Amino acid sequence: MHPTHRPRRLRTDGVRPLVSETDVSASDLVAPVFVDATTDERVPIETMPGHERVPVDQAVERVEEIRETGVEGVILFGIPESKDPEGTRAYAKDGVVQRAIRAIAADTDAYVIGDVCLCEYTSHGHCGIVEERAETDPTLTVKNDETLELLADIAVSQADAGADMVAPSAMTDGQVRAIREALDDAGHESVALMSYAAKYESAFYGPFRDAADGAPAFGDRRHYQMDPANRREALREARMDAQEGADVLMVKPGLPYLDVIADLRTEFDHPIAAYNVSGEYAMLHAAAEKEWLDLEATAYESLLSLKRAGADLIITYFAEDIADRL
Ligand code: PBG
Which ligand 1 atom is nearest residue 277's CA? 15
Reported for 251-254, long-range contacts at CB under 8 A and 24+ positions apart, including other chains, are 251/197, 251/198, 251/275, 251/311, 252/169, 252/196, 252/198, 252/199, 252/200, 252/202, 252/277, 253/200, 253/202, 253/204, 253/205, 253/277, 253/279, 253/280, 254/280, 254/302, 254/306, 254/311, 254/314, 254/316
Average pLDDT rounded to a whole number, residues 5-27: 96
| Residue among 74, 119, 200, 226 whose CB has most ligand 1 atoms within 8 A, to mutate | 119
Residue 132 has pLDDT above 80, yes or no: no
* Average pLDDT of every residue of the chain: 95
Give catalytic residue positions.
199, 252
Residue 139 pLDDT > 80, yes or no?
no
Q: How confident is the model at residue 301 (pLDDT cuts 50, 70, 90)?
A: very high
Residue 219: what pLDDT? 82
Query: Using CA positions, which residue lies closest to atom 14 of ligand 1?
Result: 205
Task: Quote the pTM value.
Answer: 0.95
Q: What is the pLDDT of residue 134?
A: 67
State the average pLDDT over residues 272-283.
98
Please write the tens of the pLDDT for every residue from 302-311: 999 999 999 9
Domain borders along the chain are 7-325
DSSP characters over 252-282 = ESSGGGHHHHHHHHHH--S-EEEEE-HHHHH
Give, for ligand 1, the residue of 33, 117, 195, 317 to mutate: max count of ligand atoms closer than 8 Å to Cβ.
Answer: 117
Asked if pLDDT for residue 92 goes beyond 70, the answer is yes
CATH of 7-325, one of 3.40.1410.10, 3.40.50.2300, 3.20.20.70, 3.30.70.260: 3.20.20.70
Ligand 1 pocket, mutate which of 169, 201, 306 (most atoms under 8 A from CB): 169
pLDDT score at 220: 83
In this prediction, residue 214 has a pLDDT band, given cuts at 50, 70 and 90, of confident
* Residue 42, pLDDT score: 97
Separation of CA 209 and ligand 1 centre (Å): 7
| Ligand 1 cavity residues, CB under 6 Å | 115, 117, 119, 127, 169, 205, 208-209, 214, 221, 277-278
Q: How far is the CA of 196 from the centre of ligand 1 (A)?
A: 10
pLDDT band at residue 131 under the 50/70/90 scheme: confident
The pLDDT, as a whole number, for residue 216 is 83
Nearest ligand 1 atom to alpha carbon 278? 15
Residue 80 Cα, ligand 1 centroid: separation in angstroms? 16
CB-side exposure of 255: number of CA atoms within 13 Å? 20
**What percentage of the chain has pLDDT greater than the value 70?**
98
Span from the CA of 36 to the centroid of ligand 1 (angstroms)? 16
Q: Whose CA is nearest to atom 11 of ligand 1?
A: 205
What mean pLDDT do residues 54-63 have? 98
Q: Report residue 111's pLDDT band, with 50, 70 and 90 as the boundaries.
A: very high
Q: Is the pLDDT of residue 194 over 90?
A: yes
Please identify, by atom number, the ligand 1 atom nearest to the C-alpha of residue 117.
16
Does the pLDDT value for residue 152 go beyond 80?
yes
Q: What is the pLDDT of residue 140?
A: 66
Determine the distance separating the centroid of ligand 1 and the alpha carbon of 230, expressed in angstroms. Answer: 19
